[in-house]
């Protein structure tokens, strides 16, 4: 069994994309709450603002942070693997590694949408 290095992804890309979807849903809820608040005849009270603040804080500290951390580790791992393969072929191209990162980001974005 292969050892899990500290650079291996902490979670599957599917789980990271699921967390990003959760973030999108929570931010959509915040947007609708704020939209509803500015249509009220009375300004939002401290409790309303505290609830929105708590939802945003929980989202940033929870699923968004976990998804970003996982995406970073996943992309770093992909670049290291790509560079390792290039070096074993006696060919190392930084632009190829950058292209791999760009392709991985595009794939993650496409799957999230």
Kindly tell me if the per-residue pLDDT of 3 is higher than 50. no
Residue 74 domain-assigned (yes or no) = yes
- The C-alpha atoms of residue 101 and residue 105 are separated, in whole angstroms, by 6
pLDDT of residue 25: 93
Per the structure, the count of domains in the chain is 1
- Distance, in Å, from the CA atom of 48 to the CA atom of 73, rounded to the nearest integer, reads 37
The domain in which residue 60 lies consists of 13-27+47-112
| Residue 4 maps to a domain | no
User: Rounded to whole angstroms, how far apart are CA atoms 101 and 78?
Assistant: 8
* Domain presence at residue 90: yes
pLDDT for position 75:
82
Q: For 22-45, what is each residue's pLDDT tens digit? A: 999 999 999 998 888 878 888 888
**How much is the pLDDT for 63?**
92
User: How many residues make up the chain in this entry?
Assistant: 113
């Amino acid at each position: 069994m292969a050892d899990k290095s500290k650079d291996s992804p902490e979670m599957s890309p599917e789980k990271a994309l699921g967390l990003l979807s959760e973030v999108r849903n929570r931010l959509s809820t915040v947007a609708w709450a704020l939209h509803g608040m500015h249509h009220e005849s009375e300004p939002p009270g401290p409790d309303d603002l505290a609830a929105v603040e708590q939802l945003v804080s929980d989202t940033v500290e929870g699923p968004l942070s976990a998804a970003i951390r996982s995406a970073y580790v996943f992309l770093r791992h992909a670049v290291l693997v790509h560079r390792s393969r290039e070096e074993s072929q006696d060919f190392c191209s930084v632009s190829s590694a950058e292209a791999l990162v760009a392709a991985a980001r595009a794939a993650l974005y496409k799957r999230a949408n």
